[in-house]
Structures are given as structure tokens and as C-alpha cells.
Structure 1
Amino acid sequence: MTEKVVVIYSGGMDSFTVLNRAVRDNKEVFALSFDYGQRHVKELEYAANVCRELGIEHKVIDITSINQLLAGSSLTDDIDIPEGHYEEQSMKSTVVPNRNMILLSLAVGYAVSKGAGQVYYGAHSGDHAIYPDCRPEFVLKMNEVCKIANYEPVEIYSPYLTVSKIDILTDGLQMGLDYSKTWTCYNGREKACGKCGACQERLEAFEKNDATDPLEYE
């Protein structure tokens, strides 16, 4: 019997790789995306297209109302997206307070309702410098809680937690994945900006893999 899993799927290159890794692990995948008012909401269009192509059940949940509580992030408020690498302090403005704890909690609830034993989550080491809720200690503690929060234990599975986006892309390219089907840029314009931390890290990953990013840049 095929094991059921929920994949938190943003439409970006990390979660795209995680989604395809779950498919190749012969899991029955239920993809879950969230509209939390992010200015790069076009990533959800990319997510929907991929799930349609793969024949995966996909839910997009509107949780924009929580932004009444979670102010101060340049991803959701009228604050300029900073330019530069994730290592720079300015990128802290892209933190959405408690975002991943909220999303993981919802995903675990969905997993229980579907009879799924795991939630796949695409955190990686490149996020650790800026995002507290992507660090191993957070994932470990969240995993412990999710195993006892319901009668049915659910595991938080982060296959790339200790490796970089470079390594994620390496794995994806070895799987033959097409990254033109992903959106990374924090600015939700027609083309990727190439200057925000998300774009810079993506471009660095392609460069380190001696590959060309198929996305168009401004």
C-alpha cells in the first residue's frame, strides 16, 4: 500500500524538488500551498501548473487574514524587498513572524485528515542564517510536537535540512527536473529581479552546478 504524504509546496525551486522527490519515493502525494498575502503570489500559479501536470491533488489555502496579526515583513507589507544575499542583515525584513510554525500546523492537520504519516517540508541550510523557523533545532522540536499533537503521529520530514540550495539543485538536475516550472523571486513582477536574496541564491545554485537558469531576469 502506497504511503500518503503531504508536501508543503510553495511553487519555488526547493519545494518543487521536494515534491518530485516524494513522487520518486513512490508516495501518494497531497500538495498544499498557502496564500498568506505574499507579494510573489504568482508562485502559486507555478505550483498549480506543476500539480496539474503530475496529476497530484493540490489545495491552495487562503490565510491572508492572518496578516492582521503578522505585520512587519517586506513579503507581506508595503516595505521594499531588500537586495543582496541572505547572509546580509537587511534580509531579515523578509521574515514573516511564526510563518512556518503556522503552515506546518495546518499541514499536519491536513495530514491527519488524509491518513498521511509525513509532512514534507523544504527547509535547507541556506535559510538558517535568516529564518529561525528553518533551523534544525526548530524542525526537531516541531517534529517532536507533531508526533504527539494528535492520536495519529505525523513526522515532519525535511530531506534537505542540512544541505544547501546548491545541493538541492544538484539532486533536482539529476532527476531531470525542469526549473522553468518554478518561481523564486520575492518581487512578483513579470520577470525575476535577479537582485533579491532569493534570486541571488538561486542564481548561485545554477552557477555552482554549471547550469543555466531557465527563468528570464530583468
Structure 2
Amino acid sequence: MLKNEKAVVVFSGGQDSTTCLFWAKQQFGEVETVTFDYGQRHRLEIECAQSIAKELGVKNTILDMSLLNQLAPNALTRSDIEITQEEGELPSTFVEGRNHLFLSFAAVLAKVSGARHLVTGVCETDFSGYPDCRDSFVKSLNVTLNLAMDYNFVIHTPLMWLDKAETWAMAHDLGAFEFVRERTLTCYNGIIGDGCGECPSCQLRRHGLEMFLQGQSQEIGR
């Protein structure tokens, strides 16, 4: 634990970033969050992030990233683009360069606020093929940021090698299972909690939840 250190969590108010926020609060003495407004289809995502940050007693900064929507049209920002995923191709929800830009801007915020730790919920296990969720990318960007800003950042990826069931298990171990299940917004259709149950994000979340609960039942039954 780094109780004398400060961390900035890249925060959307979803399952992964909220689990990372609980993790960061356990690890670091001071934690704040940064949320990016890039023209999300559902403004509720930003409101959800603000609400969670307030309830957990951490500062939340909203940064305008609307230029990203202009550069990279996608199903997360355009209601006229259908949410699809064809075999062997990236899903239509992929936003080119999103994690690269988010982490870079979070690093600027972190340095100015005196934090050297960045926390992000990217994951290479359940990542739908997104190139900027890979461990190799994060490590490379970490080196680049340190050189570009002459500052010793450490990018933490607590979920990198976890599947969704293991992410639920982490939330459980952090005492945050019910909070994450009931308060977070992962659904592409903008429904908090268990979501619509139909979109790819909800299906992934639900499958992980079912696997976690099944494991819990087996443990109790022993």
C-alpha cells in the first residue's frame, strides 16, 4: 500500500473503473478521479460518475474531449451507428485512440495535482480486441509519458489479467460487490445496474456475474 502517495483514476462510472476506484482508495492515501466527456450517447454516464465520486468522497474532474467524437465516429457517440461486432473485426463501439488520449490527459492532470499514480480499468482478458487495452500498450505509454513530461508516472492496471468473473470477485473482496452491481453504468443502452441484458457490454457483465455467483455457491456448498 502507498498511503503517502496520490492517485488519479480514469473514471467512467462503469463496473471496471468503479472497481478500480475502490482498489485505489485501499492502496493510496489520496485519490481523485477524472471523467471524459467525449459526446457519449448517454449523458447519464457522466452523471453516474459524478454521483459515485461524490458518494465515495473523491474529487471528480470532467474534461471536454468532444474533439474525439469529431475524429472517430462510433456507436458509443452516434445514435445513427448500430452497435455491432462482426467476427474478426473490432466492434462498432471501438473509439480510435480513446485510452491513449484519456491516459495522456489524465497524466497532465495528475502532474499538476501532484499525483504520480494513474489507475485505469483496461483489461486484456475481456477486451474485445481493442488495441489500446493491451498490456504492451500501457507499458509503452508509461515510458512515453515519463519521458515526455519528465515525471515518474506509474500506470496501474488492476484488472489487466482478470476476466469479468474475477473482476466481480475483486469487487467482492473490496467490500464493494453490491455497490458495483447496483450503482454502476456499463450498459450501452444507458440502464444503470444490471442493464438491458441484451447489448454486448451487458452480456459480458452478466456472464461474468453468473460465473462468479456460481463459484460462490460452490464454495458455500463445500
Q: TM-score range by the shorter chain?
A: 0.7 to 0.9
Greater length-normalized contact order (CA 8 Å, ≥ 6 residues apart): 1
CA contact (8 A) 1:193 1:199 kept: yes
Q: Are 1:54 and 2:53 matched, yes or no?
A: no
Per-residue deviation, 1:66: 2.9
1:6 is matched with which residue?
8
- What is the SS of the residue equivalent to 2:96? coil
Secondary structure class of the residue paired with 2:28:
coil
Residue identity in the other structure for 2:202: C
1:207 aligns with 2:220: no
Contact 1:5 1:117 in 2 (8 A): yes
When the two structures are superposed, what TM-score results if normalisation uses the length of structure 2? 0.86
- Mean CA deviation greater in 9-18 or 150-159: 150-159
Cα deviation, 1:145-181, whole Å, max 9, x if unaligned, reads 1221112221211111112121111010122211211
Distance (Å, rounded) in 1 between the aligned partners of 2:103 and 2:29: 19
1:209: Cα distance to partner? 1.0
Note the C-alpha offset of 1:47.
Answer: 1.3
CA contact (8 A) 1:40 1:185 kept: no
* CA deviation after TM superposition for structure 1 residue 91, in Å: 5.5
Q: CA deviation at 1:26?
A: 3.3
The CA distance in 1 between the partners of 2:42 and 2:211, in whole Å, is: 25
Asked if 2 retains the 8 angstrom alpha-carbon contact of 1:14 and 1:168, the reply is: yes
Query: Partner amino acid for 2:204?
Result: E
Query: 1:23 matched to which residue of 2?
Result: 25
Residue 90 of structure 1: how far off its partner (Å): 6.3
Amino acid at match of 1:24: Q
- Mapped to 1, the partners of 2:140 and 2:47 lie a distance apart of 32
The range that moved more, 59-68 or 26-35, is 59-68
Distance 2:28 2:191 in 1: 35
CA 1:107/1:197 → structure 2, altered by over 3 Å: closer, same or farther?
same
More helix by share: 2
**C-alpha contact (below 8 Å) 1:33/1:59 kept by paired residues:** yes
Distance 2:132 2:94 in 1: 9
Checking the alignment, whether the CA contact within 8 Å between 2:82 and 2:92 is kept in structure 1 is no
Structure 1: where are the runs of 5+ without partners?
Answer: 212-218
Aligned length: 207
Q: State TM-score, norm by structure 1.
A: 0.87
Contact 1:146 1:155 in 2 (8 A): no
CA distance in 2 between counterparts of 1:26 and 1:69 reads 35
- Separation in 1, partners of 2:88, 2:44: 26
Conserved? CA contact 1:12–1:182, under 8 Å: yes
Give the superposition deviation at 1:193: 2.1
Mapping 1:1-218, distance limit 5 Å: 2-71=4-73, 73-77=74-78, 78-82=80-84, 88-89=87-88, 92-177=91-176, 178-179=179-180, 180-188=182-190, 192-210=195-213
Percent identity of equivalent pairs: 37
- AA at the equivalent of 2:65: I
Greater Cα offset, 40-49 or 93-102: 40-49
- In structure 2, distance between residues paired with 1:15 and 1:79: 25
How far did 1:27 drift? 3.0
- Residue 185 of structure 1, CA deviation: 0.5
